[in-house]
Structure 1
């Protein structure tokens, strides 16, 4: 099996790792000269880090399956699946999908890593739009495996099932977004948290470092293992409806007081920036990113253990 990855930024590289880890051959292409070749070393490094925690059995073999293509047509040759990961711009994506639809083998699904733009905005005029679909990953895709498969009104159910099957076969966790909505689900949930976090700092409720501490030492711990509905289900003696009856009025009252729709205040953004630079100097951001990825790998390994039949018991 062969995947064509178009665009080799952080998302594209993550997709390459996910497919190579699963035994696929991978062709990389980027419109920026030299970008695809440069991505190869990042892919190899990440596969080696994953092998150190048991997430990849043979990192050298996986890395050898990833190659850079000089031309788009070369990257698409003999592919069984194509994933676009170009900048988040509807016009750019529309142009790229016109080329992908023209050059990819007939019948091959083409996914888009669009993080907020619904497919109807850039796929509706593509001749082969029936095989082009939003498949929005988390970032980075190889460490946060959920993929939001977001069909447009013209997509057949069988095609959605086919795409989900491909993604599940490489170890991703596909979920179907059943109605087109800007930002899909993952980023809308994230938006609610981030906007309220900025608002709390803007109103002087909490310092940025303490807000991060609240998330990583409370909600983040639970949410690494279960979603909000299962959390509610397990936090009341008689389950979800019991929780809703006990606390629903409090959530709704606080919900009316949230500031998630307000503009970000410049003074709050600068306060957060200053706090972050004290914690992580700008020159150390890249090193901290790799620390984050290694930590996610260890967490993935633990989650795999916990979610296995033996671990679940």
Structure 2
């Protein structure tokens, strides 16, 4: 893939443009604001100013690879990958995706940045729907590599594989969802956590300002270096299965308090343990814990907590 089309120049579209241009690709942006190309490029440069001197910096020559077009057909011409980033409105996105699918070159991969709309909803009735899928980033993608690649039931496996490889090539960290689900994964997890914080604040358990401290001085430090399953695996002598046998009841109690049920059972614990042991032996855990400790210390040393 040599050229990328960005359809929608909001916060997400702007950030995607930085991702692709930084990776050395030619980027075409569809913009109907009436602003000059020079002004739009200047705004893109301004949005990347704070990154100068970091390993996420966008080199000056990257902006020479960005073009702005007023006509949709012009932004799509020659593009092998399209990132639609229009507002989160199903009817609007459907209409736009129909236009994109009709005007794009044959074989072009069509991706939407939607935060929660199902790809099968978005692509219903569009041409070449086997080439359509959701590629959902966190905000902003030029700083947060995680990218959810979400196929519909009719997306071809080849398109999914090509998209995951492409995201890796441009510096993102793609996670392929095995099937579509409302909110995908990242927003479902974020929603579950935030809903619990909302409850705890409303019930007078914690002050709002202390919620942020729970993350910035606790989980955020650890999660900057390793994920929650890997962390569990290091927090009990027998690994993740041992941890959940000791503390898994906490999750059941919290779920019951919210009139829900925990998904944790013996079969799932077995699945988690087998997956972890396929990656790391228990004998390796002391060395992994030492690496975790040093990584957290480094994060604490270099980070700035933004109020």
Q: For residues 61 and 240 of structure 1, do their structure 2 counterparts lie closer, same or farther at Cα, with a shift above 3 Å needed?
A: same
Conserved in 1, the CA contact under 8 Å of 2:131 and 2:156? no
Matches within 5 A, 1:21-60: 21-34=22-35, 38-56=39-57, 59-60=59-60
TM-score under structure 1 normalisation? 0.79
SS of the aligned residue for 2:41 comes to helix
Conserved in 2, the CA contact under 8 Å of 1:7 and 1:85? yes
| CA RMSD across the alignment | 2.0
Separation (CA, whole Å) in 2 of partners of 1:22 and 1:205: 46
Following superposition, the deviation at residue 137 of structure 1 comes to 0.7
Separation (CA, whole Å) in 2 of partners of 1:39 and 1:88: 22
Separation (CA, whole Å) in 1 of partners of 2:183 and 2:256: 22
Separation (CA, whole Å) in 2 of partners of 1:75 and 1:143: 25
Q: Which residue of 2 aligns with 1:181?
A: 181
Deviations 1:204-239 (A, max 9, x none): 111111111111110111112221111111111121
Following superposition, the deviation at residue 39 of structure 1 comes to 4.1
Conserved in 2, the CA contact under 8 Å of 1:47 and 1:62? no
Matches within 5 A, 1:1-313: 1-34=2-35, 38-56=39-57, 59-258=59-258
Separation (CA, whole Å) in 2 of partners of 1:33 and 1:102: 25
Following superposition, the deviation at residue 38 of structure 1 comes to 4.9
Q: For residues 197 and 36 of structure 1, do their structure 2 counterparts lie closer, same or farther at Cα, with a shift above 3 Å needed?
A: farther
Conserved in 1, the CA contact under 8 Å of 2:76 and 2:104? yes
Q: Which runs of 5+ in 2 are unaligned?
A: 261-294, 300-307
Following superposition, the deviation at residue 259 of structure 1 comes to 8.1
SS of the aligned residue for 2:27 comes to strand
Tell me the number of residue pairs that the alignment of Structure 1 and Structure 2 aligns. 262
Question: Which stretch shows the higher mean deviation, 154-163 or 14-23?
Answer: 154-163
Deviations 1:65-85 (A, max 9, x none): 112112111111111211000
Separation (CA, whole Å) in 2 of partners of 1:216 and 1:259: 29
Following superposition, the deviation at residue 159 of structure 1 comes to 1.6
Deviations 1:254-282 (A, max 9, x none): 2222489xxxxxxxxxxxxxxxxxxxxxx
Separation (CA, whole Å) in 2 of partners of 1:252 and 1:36: 55
Separation (CA, whole Å) in 2 of partners of 1:186 and 1:116: 10
Conserved in 2, the CA contact under 8 Å of 1:78 and 1:105? yes
SS of the aligned residue for 2:52 comes to helix
Separation (CA, whole Å) in 1 of partners of 2:217 and 2:253: 25
Conserved in 2, the CA contact under 8 Å of 1:48 and 1:59? no
Following superposition, the deviation at residue 110 of structure 1 comes to 1.0
SS of the aligned residue for 1:193 comes to helix
Structure with the greater relative contact order (CA < 8 A, sep ≥ 6): 1 or 2? 1
Conserved in 2, the CA contact under 8 Å of 1:79 and 1:108? yes
Separation (CA, whole Å) in 2 of partners of 1:24 and 1:162: 16
Conserved in 1, the CA contact under 8 Å of 2:136 and 2:147? yes
SS of the aligned residue for 2:243 comes to helix
